């Protein structure tokens, strides 16, 4: 089974009224002083990066138990402000449970449901609560650096129950998890 | 020496003509007439020697000025006895009713003026007293003998405060005054000029300034805006420095209009009207060459400041509006 994720950068531009700018010309004299105003609007900007695909490998007759995998990544938010992640996927919500995600088989369209968990740190996602499909996660704090200082500041965790794997026909299953980051 | 004022003498000449007309009268009447003529011996005669002009020369930010000239002033009765007198100085250029004395640019009373003060001293007194324009002194001067055998007895001091001179346009300032001594109907007067040249101070002017709108930053890239402007300097070279409300430790910042966020701001100066700037201005100064003949730089900017914001600093800034006011000081070099 292959599991794909994509990185997604999101930028929200706010339409803000321009500030009233003014300047003062200098007078002729022994000294002369002029003044100018500077104005800047910083709009929301976020970015998720350092993502990697998750490959669960093969699950066969000798395999037992659930499958789980974590992936750490970086979330930048201007000013190091807070964000939330709303996860969706290319396969859409599971047909049996619209709150859940599912992998789909390449050949016959059989599905394997899975769960997604998020945490605002490089580790510990497996211990978090399951996130509902297309619902904003809890709020986390972003990094002021687009590269998070070449480190990770967030993690997700995918779980597939053994029961789902046992019910699945032989095939290759995959999904693309879409992570939408919003400043909060 | 000033002309004698004939008022009192004419009075006596009139009486002398009466003597001629009555020369054939009775001797007793002649005696009586002689008695009437006796006061002529007590008539005062005022005499004032010319007083030199006051030429202060050129002034260039060198403090207050004061210059004293002296003259001989006497008031002597016909019988040789000495009489006290008072003095008055009148401003002949002034068309106002001011109590003060003034010098005028190029002697034009409608032009820029410099106020002066006038003090007088009688050598027998030894202290100066101030005068009011057109008003007789309250202090009396004692007259020496004719021709002031002990030297000039009237001291007249002209004072110009540096505060009056500072900031005045360069040029020649001139005043024209009349000094008069008087006692009763006896008076004499002399005129004198006061001149000071205010050296033209180096002048500068910054203009053509426009405020800078960085616009919106959406998370990517540095921001850089160059603002060009005009610097006039009568001396040519000048020094430029900048200050900002958010300057801390010599560094400049944009300040969030709400909250405490700041964004480091680099200010770079270029001694040309195209930029970008190359000389960073923190708390230091930089040197430039201004336009020497046109305060408007003949319409072409000759200096520039480049304002730079780094991407990493912008990304570290929270969403919001940031502003700053930059004060640019130009000083002749």
Query: Could you tell me the CATH number of the domain that includes residue B166?
Result: 2.60.40.10
Give domain status of residue B260, yes or no.
yes
**Of B134, B163, B198, which one is at a domain's C-terminal end?**
B198
Evaluate whether A81 touches B316 at the Cβ level (below 8 Å).
no
DSSP 3-state of A166 = helix
Q: What percent of chain A lies above the pLDDT cut of 90? A: 83
pLDDT band at residue A108 under the 50/70/90 scheme: confident
Whether residues B116 and B229 fall in one domain: no
Whether residues B94 and B14 fall in one domain: yes
Please compute the mean of the pLDDT values over residues B144-173 and round it to a whole number: 92
User: Which contacts (CB < 8 Å, 24+ apart) does range A118-122 have?
Assistant: A118/A85, A118/A87, A118/A154, A118/A155, A118/A156, A118/A157, A119/A154, A119/A155, A119/A156, A119/A157, A120/A153, A120/A154, A121/A153, A121/A154, A121/A155, A122/A72, A122/A151, A122/A152, A122/A153, A122/A154, A122/A155
Whether the CB of A14 is below 8 Å from some CB of chain B: the reply is yes
Give domain status of residue B30, yes or no.
no
Whether residues B122 and B271 fall in one domain: no
Interface test with B, best of A10, A40, A48, A181 (most B CBs within 10 A): A40
Model confidence pLDDT, tens digit, residues B190-249: 999 999 998 877 889 999 999 999 999 999 999 999 999 999 999 899 999 999 998 888
Domains in chain B, number: 2
The CA angle B217-B220-B221, to the nearest 5 degrees, is: 90
Whether the CB of A47 is below 8 Å from some CB of chain B: the reply is yes
| Å between A119 CA and nearest CA of chain B | 22
Is A144 in Cβ contact with B207 (below 8 Å)? no
Tokens 């520039």 correspond to what residue?
A: B304
Give B20: exposed, middle or buried? Use CB within 10 Å, 0-12, 13-18, 19+: exposed
Which residues of chain B neighbour A40 with C-beta distances below 8 Å?
213-217, 223, 254, 263, 309, 321-323
Give domain status of residue A24, yes or no.
no
pLDDT at B6: 35
Give domain status of residue A37, yes or no.
no
The region of weakest confidence among A67-71, A112-116, B61-65, B132-136 is B61-65
Whether the CB of B226 is below 8 Å from some CB of chain A: the reply is no
| Interface ipTM > 0.85 | no
Give domain status of residue A34, yes or no.
no
SS (H, E, C) B184-230: CCEEEEEEEEEEEEECCCCCEEEECCCCEEEEEECCCCCEEEEEEEE
Q: What is the CATH number of the domain that holds A141?
A: 2.60.40
pLDDT at B94: 80
Q: What percent of chain B lies above the pLDDT cut of 70? A: 87
Evaluate whether B206 touches A26 at the Cβ level (below 8 Å).
yes
| Å between B65 CA and nearest CA of chain A | 21
Give domain status of residue B68, yes or no.
yes
Please compute the mean of the pLDDT values over residues B312-316 and round it to a whole number: 95
| Å between B4 CA and nearest CA of chain A | 51
Whether the CB of B207 is below 8 Å from some CB of chain A: the reply is yes
Give domain status of residue B37, yes or no.
no
Domains in chain A, number: 1
Which residues of chain A neighbour B322 with C-beta distances below 8 Å?
39-42
Give domain status of residue B1, yes or no.
no
**Of B160, B175, B198, which one is at a domain's C-terminal end?**
B198
Evaluate whether B275 touches B323 at the Cβ level (below 8 Å).
no
Between β-strands A111-119 and B54-59, what pairing exists: parallel, antiparallel or unpaired?
unpaired
SS (H, E, C) A80-110: HCEEEEEEEECCCECCCCCCCEEEEECCCCC
Please compute the mean of the pLDDT values over residues A136-140 and round it to a whole number: 97
pLDDT exceeds 70 at position A6? no
Is A31 in Cβ contact with B329 (below 8 Å)? yes
pLDDT band at residue A22 under the 50/70/90 scheme: confident
Interface test with B, best of A12, A26, A30 (most B CBs within 10 A): A26
- Better-predicted residue by pLDDT, B78 or B31: B78
pLDDT band at residue B4 under the 50/70/90 scheme: very low
Between β-strands B154-160 and B113-122, what pairing exists: parallel, antiparallel or unpaired?
antiparallel
Whether the CB of B293 is below 8 Å from some CB of chain A: the reply is no
Model confidence pLDDT, tens digit, residues B255-304: 999 988 999 999 999 999 998 999 999 999 999 999 999 999 999 999 99
Distances (CA, A) of B158 to A52, B15, B69: 92, 44, 9
If you average pLDDT over every residue of chain B, what do you get? Answer: 87
Q: What is the CATH number of the domain that holds B295?
A: 2.60.40.1090
Between β-strands A32-42 and B212-217, what pairing exists: parallel, antiparallel or unpaired?
parallel
| Å between A8 CA and nearest CA of chain B | 14
Helices (H), chain B: 7-21, 27-37, 162-165, 311-315
Give domain status of residue B303, yes or no.
yes
Q: How many CA atoms lie within 13 A of B205 on its CB side?
A: 16
Whether residues B171 and B229 fall in one domain: no
* pTM confidence score: 0.64
Whether the CB of A31 is below 8 Å from some CB of chain B: the reply is yes
Question: For residue A54, what are its two tokens?
Answer: 């998750």
Evaluate whether B200 touches B170 at the Cβ level (below 8 Å).
yes
Is B223 in Cβ contact with A32 (below 8 Å)? no
Which residues of chain B neighbour A14 with C-beta distances below 8 Å?
319
The CA angle B124-B127-B129, to the nearest 5 degrees, is: 115
Please compute the mean of the pLDDT values over residues A25-34 and round it to a whole number: 93
**Of B198, B232, B251, which one is at a domain's C-terminal end?**
B198
Range of the domain at B191: 7-19+42-198
Whether residues B276 and B193 fall in one domain: no
Whether residues B98 and B140 fall in one domain: yes
Nearest-angstrom CA–CA distance, A150 and B266: 26
Give domain status of residue A21, yes or no.
no
Whether residues B177 and B214 fall in one domain: no
Whether residues B128 and B157 fall in one domain: yes
Whether residues B106 and B242 fall in one domain: no
How many pairs of residues across A and B have Cβ atoms under 8 Å apart?
173
pLDDT exceeds 70 at position B20? no
Whether residues B119 and B54 fall in one domain: yes
Please compute the mean of the pLDDT values over residues A70-94 and round it to a whole number: 97
- Nearest CA to B232 out of B328, B284, B278, B298 is that of B298
Cβ within 8 Å of A, B 182-201 = 201
Nearest-angstrom CA–CA distance, B113 and B169: 10
Whether residues B106 and B179 fall in one domain: yes
Question: For residue B290, what are its two tokens?
Answer: 């201004």
Range of the domain at A154: 2-10+45-183
DSSP string for residues in B64-78: -EEEEEEE-EEEEET
Evaluate whether B240 touches B231 at the Cβ level (below 8 Å).
yes
Tokens 């919500």 correspond to what residue?
A: A93
pLDDT at B41: 60
């Amino acid at each position: 089974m292959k599991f794909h994720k994509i990185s997604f950068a999101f930028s929200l531009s706010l339409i803000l009224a321009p500030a009233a700018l003014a300047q003062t010309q200098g007078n002729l004299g022994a000294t002369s002083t002029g003044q100018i105003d500077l104005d800047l609007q910083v709009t929301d900007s976020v970015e998720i990066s350092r993502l990697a695909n998750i490959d669960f490998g093969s699950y066969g007759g000798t395999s037992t138990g659930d499958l789980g995998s974590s992936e750490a990544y970086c979330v930048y938010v201007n000013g190091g402000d807070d964000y939330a992640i709303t996860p969706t996927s290319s396969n859409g919500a599971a047909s049996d449970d619209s709150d859940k995600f599912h992998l789909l088989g390449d050949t016959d369209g059989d599905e394997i449901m899975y769960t997604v968990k998020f945490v605002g740190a490089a580790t510990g996602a497996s211990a978090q609560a399951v996130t509902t499909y297309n619902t904003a996660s809890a709020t986390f704090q972003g990094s002021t650096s687009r590269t998070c200082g070449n480190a990770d500041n967030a993690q997700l965790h995918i779980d597939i129950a053994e029961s789902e794997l046992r019910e699945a026909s032989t095939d290759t299953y995959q999904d693309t998890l879409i992570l939408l980051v919003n400043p909060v | 020496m000033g002309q004698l004022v004939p008022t009192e003498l004419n009075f006596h000449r009139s009486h002398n003509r009466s003597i001629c007309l009555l020369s054939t009268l009775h001797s007793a009447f002649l005696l009586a007439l002689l008695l009437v003529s006796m006061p002529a011996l007590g008539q005062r005669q005022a005499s004032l020697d010319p007083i030199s002009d006051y030429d202060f020369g050129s002034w260039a930010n060198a403090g207050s000025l004061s210059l004293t000239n002296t003259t001989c002033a006497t008031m002597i009765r016909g019988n040789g006895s000495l009489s006290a007198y008072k003095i008055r100085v009148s401003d002949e250029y002034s068309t106002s009713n001011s109590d003060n004395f003034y010098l005028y640019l190029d002697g034009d009373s409608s032009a820029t003026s410099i106020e002066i003060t006038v003090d007088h001293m009688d050598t027998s007194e030894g202290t100066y007293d101030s005068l009011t324009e057109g008003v007789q002194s309250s202090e009396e001067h004692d007259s020496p003998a004719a021709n002031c055998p002990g030297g000039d007895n009237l001291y007249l001091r002209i004072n110009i405060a540096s505060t009056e001179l500072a900031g005045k346009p360069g040029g020649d300032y001139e005043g024209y005054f009349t000094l008069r001594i008087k006692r009763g109907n006896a008076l004499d007067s002399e005129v004198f000029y006061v001149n000071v040249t205010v050296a033209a101070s180096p002048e500068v002017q910054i203009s053509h300034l426009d405020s800078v709108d960085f616009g919106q930053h959406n998370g990517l890239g540095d921001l850089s805006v160059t603002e060009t402007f005009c610097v006039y300097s009568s001396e040519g070279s000048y020094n430029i420095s900048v200050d900002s409300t958010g300057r801390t430790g010599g560094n400049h910042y944009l300040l969030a209009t709400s909250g405490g966020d700041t964004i480091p701001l680099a200010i770079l100066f270029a001694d040309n009207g195209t930029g970008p700037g190359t000389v960073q201005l923190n708390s230091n100064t930089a040197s430039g060459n201004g336009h020497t003949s046109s305060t408007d730089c003949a319409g072409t900017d000759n200096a520039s400041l480049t304002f730079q914001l780094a991407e990493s600093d912008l990304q570290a800034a929270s969403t919001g509006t940031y502003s700053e006011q930059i004060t640019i000081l130009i000083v002749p070099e």
